[in-house]
A = this chain, B = another copy of it.
Amino acid sequence: MLDATSSYNPMDLRIPVDDRTGQHIVAETARRSENRYGNRPTMKDVAARAGVGLKTVSRVVNSEPGVTPDTERRVQEAIEALGFRRNDSARVLRKGRTASIGLVLEDLADPFYGPLSRAVEEVARAHGALLINGSSAEDPDREQELVLALCARRVDGLVVIPAGDDHRYLEPEMKAGVATVFVDRPAGRIDADVVLSDSFGGARDGVAHLIAHGHRRIGFIGDMPRIHTAAERLRGYRAAMEDAGIPVEDAWMSLGVTDPQRVRKAAEDMLSGPSPVTAVFAGNNRVTVTVVRVIAECGRPVALVGFDDIELADLLEPGVTVVAQDAAALGRTAAERLFRQLDGNLIAPERIELPTRLITRGSGELPPSS
């Protein structure tokens, strides 16, 4: 985390205190207060300028009925002249709804989450809500910190891609009316809506695809099994192998290795040795990219199927066969579910699983080479 050495720290919990006397530095506080919003005009100012009452300004601003055209014009002019803009912060306090929803995901820079986030945003926009998002960096503590910060802001709803596996901390929030939908991975120890891709089925089909093309020694490189999707994909791999009656050897599997250097090492190990694998199933987009590199360097053809689509996969030689999940559909589905909750349709929590799609491009159809 970056270090903030600046004086801007609005959520700072301390109040200014003089080191020697322990007295609150009143002058300092006053100066800050004075600058609040740089002295933005309020409805009161507009009312004074237009020579009308406060509530009349409110009426005009909100296009409520019951204002004569003439009064309205005067108010509009005052608004223009002063550059007034309604303070939604205050509005929110009064009305109870913030018209904003929170999205907590793993890393916005990951190409998988960009479209997902965008899809959530579009749905939110259609409902007149803004989107606040934060990245958990796959850290459960940071996830919780973010989620609770969003709850303190009184977001109307939350879309969470869980990093942790215990979300009981959300119970009081959900009880208090914060609509919540989990995406991509299920919630831990709490009953809530979940929207998932069919990781198990996708992986099983992908591995079965390799088996159908004659492979028996198939490697699996996946993320930490504590991540639900990773565990499911591993389960899918095992299921496909078992269905085909192929006993899996430990040397064929790499679990929980994420950093590219070590994924590379794991892939190299599988491809060398006395009985190397002839095909690899890559558990996510980052792994796939690394494995593509390793295979390109290793000289002989190795079949590959990856989970998650990657850009330009079709332009590589051979094209990369993938089990694609629809990130945008995940986001859209989750957000729609969220707003259905907010509409007050009291619905029992549900688990929605979206299908994956096998896209054959060449790499998954290579025959075993040794």
Instruction: State which of A149-157, A203-211, A242-250 sits at the interface with chain B.
Output: A149-157
Q: What is the total number of residues of chain A having a CB less than 8 Å from a CB of chain B? A: 98
Question: In the assembled complex, which residues on chain B have CB atoms less than 8 Å from the CB atom of A114?
Answer: 108-111, 113-114
Question: Closest approach, in angstroms, between the C-beta of A243 and any C-beta of chain B?
Answer: 32
**Closest approach, in angstroms, between the C-beta of A133 and any C-beta of chain B?**
6
A89 within 8 A of B: yes
Q: Which residues of B contact A37 (CB under 8 A)?
A: 96, 154, 176-177
Q: Does A274 contact B (CB under 8 A)?
A: no
Report the stretch among A124-132, A256-264, A276-284 that lies at the interface.
Answer: A124-132
Interface stretch, picked from A226-234, A312-320, A351-359, is: A312-320
Copies in the complex: 2
Chain B residues within 8 Å of A370, by CB: none
A9–B39 Cα distance when bound, in Å, is 30
Q: Nearest-CB distance from A143 to chain B (Å)?
A: 13
Q: Which of A46-54, A115-123, A265-273 has 4 or more CB atoms under 8 Å from chain B?
A: A115-123
Instruction: Encode contact with B along A80-92: 1 for CB under 8 Å, 0 otherwise.
Output: 0001011111101
Give the chain B neighbours of A85 by CB distance below 8 A: 148, 151-152, 172-173
A344 within 8 A of B: yes
* A33 close to chain B: CB less than 8 A: yes
